[in-house]
Amino acid sequence: MTSPPRSALVDPVDPEVLHERIGAWFDDHARSLPWRDDPRPWPVMVSELMLQQTPVVRVLPVFEAWMERWPTPAALAAEPVGEAVRAWGRLGYPRRAQRLHAAAVAITAEHGGEVPGTYEELIALPGVGDYTAAAIASFAFSRRHVVLDTNVRRVFVRVLEGRQYPHTSVTKAERDLATTLMPGEGADLDAHRWAAATMELGALVCTARSPQCAACPVADVCRWHQAGHPEHDGPARKGQAWAGTDRQCRGRLLAVLRESADPVPKADLDRAWDDAAQRERCLDSLLDDGLVTLTDSGQFTL
C-alpha cells in the first residue's frame, strides 16, 4: 500500500475521541463471556490465569468445567495441586494451574476465602504478577488501573505511535502513555470499561496478523493506518516453535498422567516420546517444577 504524504497524516489524537468511539464500539460488539457477564472476583481471577497466552475459544470449556468443580478458592485449595494440573487439560503452560492452586490456598488461609480487592494484596499472592493484579482489581472491583495486555498495547502503539507492534516488554514510556489515556474520575466511560474495550478491540479488530481496519472505530485517526501500515522495523518477531520441543515432550508426558486416575509406571511414559534423552530431561524438569510426583513405589502421578 502506498503511504500518504506526511501532510495527510493525522494530528495528535484527542483521548476523549478515543474514549467515545471505542466505548461506543464496545457497547455494540463486546462478546458475551462468562467472566465478563458475571465479573465476580474468583471467576475473573481464574479467567485471567487461563487466558495468558491462550485464546478464548480454548479457554471457555476448561473455564466452565473448572468453575463448576471449584466455584470458590476454598474448594480448589481443598484438593491436591495435581488435580488442578489434571483439570488444566491441554491449555498449555501447566505451571499456571500450579500458581492458581497456590493462590487459592493463600486466599483461603489469609483472606477468609475471598479474593482480595486491592492491587497490593493481589500482587502479594503466589503466581500473580503486575498485569494479573491490575486486571483483577480493574475487572472484578472496578478500580482504576492501567491494564496492559498484548492486545491493548498493540492498539495503543498503532493508533498513537504509528508502529505495527509494541516493544517486546512494557516500557516506562508505554505505561506513562497508557496512564494519560485512562478516563478521568467521573468520566462517562469508566477506567475499567476502557481497559476491557481496548482489550476487545485488539482481540477482534486490531489483530496482530490480519487487522480489520474497515471495521475499526478509530481507523481515521490511527497513525499506523494513515501511514499505510508500515512494516515492523524492530527485532524480528519469532513465532513459538512447538513440534519436537521440550514443551511438546512435557505436554505428552503430562497427557499420559492426566488420562490415568492412578499412578503410572515409567514404561507408560517411555512410550509417549521416542527421544530418550529429551524425555528424561523433560521428566526431570516436571519433577523439579512439582507438576509430577514420584511415588514410593517408583510410579508417577500428578
271: which residues sit within 8 A by CB, 6+ positions away? Answer: none
Distance CA 129, CA 140 (A): 16
Distance CA 274, CA 290 (A): 23
Choosing from 16, 20, 48, 64, the catalytic residue is 48
- Whether 48 is a known active-site residue: answer yes
Element (H, E) at 200: helix 191-204
Task: Tell the residue number behind the cell numbers 467515545, with chain if given.
Answer: 20
134: which residues sit within 8 A by CB, 6+ positions away? Answer: 119, 145, 146, 147, 148
* Nearest Cα to Cα of residue 203 among 215, 191, 192: 215
Measured N-to-C along each axis, helices 41-50 and 95-110 cross at an angle, to the nearest 10 degrees, of: 160
* Nearest Cα to Cα of residue 159 among 204, 226, 230, 211: 226
The DSSP bridge partners found for residue 300 are 264, 294
Distance CA 248, CA 139 (A): 33
Active site residues: 48
